[in-house]
């Protein structure tokens, strides 16, 4: 009976991943409220019902934890696509996707803000995020299901930059003045980007 030397210890791995997940979730929550700098590892650990020891057994440093949290954030702005959408329909979907993010604006905004400050002094991180968005550039820009006949007002790459910038800007603005930025306005904004105010 050969002792399988490569039999992965399943329970440990699970335990490990569970606490890792707990720490990550706790970190995400606390950071959303207070920001990364203002949050101590003790606070994060306590919020997870654990201690700093647990944090350091899962993450090498506070910075690592921060990056892991950032990485774990879902890609936002995922419009509901259908086959053969018209341009107007496509941008309407984009607008609705962006509007759906408004409730999370506070949380998202906190992370964006932290990230920007971090990227300010970490060129490698800036690039990583830039690449991450670049993926979406294509997706949004080429509008995969978009009826080939219709053309955008701008080249796909440029248009997707604008989409990105607009949704980010709307989120921040919503954070600042929640009442001014309504879901309807967001949808209208994207309609304007589409270049065809056909619905009035």
Contact string 157-196 vs its own copies (x = CB under 8 A): xx--xx-xxxxxxx-xx-xxx--xx---x--xx--xx-x-
Counting residues that bind its own copies (by CB under 8 A) gives 50
**Per DSSP, what are the bridge partners of residue 146?**
85
Q: What residues from 62 to 91 belong to the interface with DNA (CB under 7 A)?
A: 62-63
Based on the shown chain and the rule CB under 8 A, indicate whether residue 133 belongs to the binding site for its own copies: yes
How many Å apart are CA 170 and CA 2, to the nearest integer? 62
Position among 33, 42, 71, 131 found at the interface with DNA (CB under 7 A)? 42
Question: Is-contact 186 102, C-beta < 8 A?
Answer: yes
State whether residue 85 is helix, strand or coil.
strand
How many Å apart are CA 188 and CA 29, to the nearest integer? 32
Decide which of its own copies, DNA, none touches 161; Cβ closer than 5 to 8 Å per partner kind.
its own copies
Q: Where are the alpha helices (DSSP H) in 83-182?
A: 87-101, 105-120, 123-142, 156-176
List C-alpha distances in Å: 75 to 42, 68, 97.
29, 14, 12
How many Å apart are CA 120 and CA 130, to the nearest integer? 13
Contact string 96-125 vs its own copies (x = CB under 8 A): ----------x--xx-xxx-xx-xxx----
Based on the shown chain and the rule CB under 7 A, indicate whether residue 45 belongs to the binding site for DNA: yes
Binding site for its own copies (CB under 8 A): 33-35, 37-38, 106, 109-110, 112-114, 116-117, 119-121, 126, 129-130, 133-134, 137, 153-154, 157-158, 161-162, 164-170, 172-173, 175-177, 180-181, 185, 188-189, 192-193, 195, 197, 200
């Amino acid at each position: 009976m050969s002792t399988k030397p490569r039999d992965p210890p399943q329970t440990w791995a699970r335990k490990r991943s569970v606490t890792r997940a707990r720490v990550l979730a706790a970190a995400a929550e606390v950071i959303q409220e207070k920001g990364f700098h203002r949050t101590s590892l003790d606070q994060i650990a306590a919020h997870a019902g654990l201690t700093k020891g647990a944090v350091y057994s899962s993450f090498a440093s506070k910075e690592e934890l921060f990056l892991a949290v950032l990485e774990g954030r879902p890609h936002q702005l995922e419009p509901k696509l259908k086959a053969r959408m018209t341009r107007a329909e496509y941008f309407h979907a984009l607008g609705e996707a962006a509007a759906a993010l408004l409730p999370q604006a506070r949380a998202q905004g906190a992370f964006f803000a932290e990230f920007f400050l971090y990227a300010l002094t970490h060129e490698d991180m800036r690039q990583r995020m830039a690449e991450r968005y670049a993926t979406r550039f294509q997706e949004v820009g080429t509008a995969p299901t978009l009826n080939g006949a219709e053309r955008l007002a701008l080249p796909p790459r440029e248009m997707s930059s604008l989409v990105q910038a607009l949704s980010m800007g709307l989120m921040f603005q919503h954070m600042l003045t929640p009442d001014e930025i309504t879901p309807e306005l967001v949808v209208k904004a994207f309609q304007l980007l589409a270049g065809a105010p056909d619905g009035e």
